[in-house]
Amino acid sequence: MSNSDRSDAPDRDPSVAASETPDSTTKGATPPGGPEAPERRGALKTLAVVGGAAYAGVLAIPGIAFLMPVEQGGGGTERWFRVAQLDSLPEGKPQRFKLKGDLRDAFTVAKDQTIGSVWLTRNGKEVQALSAECPHLGCAIDATADGQAFNCPCHTSRFTLDGKPETGPSPRNMDALATRIADGWVEVDFRRFRQGIADKVEA
């Protein structure tokens, strides 16, 4: 090619030429972010996969629900429900109360649902709270007509007023729940326990 031919060729922008060069990414060059960047990106990908699998596992459980407490203690594990005014409870006579709260699954929240029942018995300034779920198979426990005992209509278990079993197949006492008095109200730390076993184990 002659000098005149070379001079007639249009000038090319050096930056464009570099970007069009097949080897514009040099082998062995340090990637953006430093030499540890590929490892960091790999770790993030692993965490994303593991997290996604765990979330998918939760969604795969049918009917999964989480109790939403009306009042939650500072430790994050207590589920305190304001149940009744202390002065409204008759002395020595059990009263049953339903507890209301929110039930939530992976997609929806059902507001103001009944999530359990408790029996309250007042003795002076003290209040005993017992779960209304039978420790045998979870049937609803009733009070006797005279209010002096509890019974389970499903399998004829009978309990004293303080929850001790007298007859029937119940493997343990009725499940006692913690109580406290706040501003004249009785509050109950509601929990559920495994059924059909002798030990009181939270479900």
What digits encode the pLDDT tens for the residues 149-165? 999 999 999 999 999 99
Domain covering 66-189: architecture: 3-layer Sandwich (2.102)
Cα–Cα distance measured from residue 140 to residue 152, given in angstroms and rounded to the nearest whole number: 7
pLDDT at residue 8 tops 70: no
For the chain, domain boundaries:
29-60, 66-189
What pLDDT sits at residue 40?
53
C-alpha neighbours within 13 Å on the C-beta side of residue 43: 5
pLDDT at residue 36 tops 90: no
What pLDDT sits at residue 62?
35
Average pLDDT along the chain: 75
**Percent of all residues in the chain with a pLDDT value above 70, rounded to a whole number:** 62
pLDDT at residue 38 tops 80: no
**9-18, 84-93, 99-108, 166-175: least confidently modelled range:** 9-18
